[in-house]
Amino acid sequence: MNKASGIFNTRRATEGDAPALEALIEHSVRTLLAKHYSVEQLAAALGPVFGLDRLLVRDGTYFIVERAGAAVGCGGWSKRRAVYGGDRGRPDGDEELCPETDAARVRAFFVHPDWERRGIGRLLLQESERAIRAAGFKRIELVATVAGEPLYAAHGYRVAARADAPLPGGLSLRTVHMIKGL
């Protein structure tokens, strides 16, 4: 799938994209989320909370947004049990969800700081929701950062709960569990 929307090209991520995606994720986290979380929280969260989940790439549910061949955003959805986090330290074989009874997951949206507030998050969300509907899911859930909450709320997601995700070193990260029916 190669989809152009204005000046951006959206496509499914491949294993070969991993180095570019990992660099984009780290740059996005350290820059854009620094307005909401401490340097210590972000350092502890890179990997276990904010990281590339290669299972999404292998499942064909993770997208990359490019501008002139450079990665400017990434994100996707999952038919797996995990609601967030990179694949480092997580055992393989994350269980598949049932579209009739479970909610699909929206996962791991990151935007390059030079391209924030240009519609990349919206583009990724629309692409993900199309694929989720096509897979037969009727509900979606996600765990957002406080920075991501406004994007999801603007697209019909409602807050189900707020929680502090535990991090290494006794730290935690404020998160927002959100849901949406299709």
pLDDT digits (tens, 9 = 90+) for 123-178: 999 999 999 999 999 999 999 999 999 999 999 999 999 999 999 999 999 999 99
Instruction: Compute the average pLDDT of residues 56-81.
Output: 96
| Contact indicator for 8, 120 with CB cutoff of 8 Å | yes
pLDDT of amino acid 87:
73
**Tokens linked to 42:** 């972000």
pLDDT of amino acid 28:
97
Q: What is the pLDDT of residues 17-46, one digit of tens each?
A: 999 999 999 999 999 999 999 999 999 999
pTM of the entire predicted model: 0.92
Q: What is the pLDDT of residues 2-14, one digit of tens each?
A: 444 678 999 999 9
pLDDT of amino acid 90:
61
Q: Look at the block and give the residue holding tokens 């694929």.
A: 131
Q: Which CATH architecture has domain 2-86+93-181?
A: 3-Layer(aba) Sandwich (3.40)
State how far the Cα of 139 lies from the Cα of 47, in Å rounded to an integer: 27
pLDDT of amino acid 47:
86
Which has the closest alpha carbon to 66: 14, 129, 26? Answer: 14
* DSSP 8-state assignment for residue 46: B
| Three-class SS state of 44 | helix
* DSSP 8-state assignment for residue 98: P
Which residue ranges make up each domain of the chain? 2-86+93-181
Chain-centre distance of CA 3, in angstroms? 19
Q: What is the pLDDT of residues 83-135, one digit of tens each?
A: 888 876 666 667 899 999 999 999 999 999 999 999 999 999 999 999 999 99
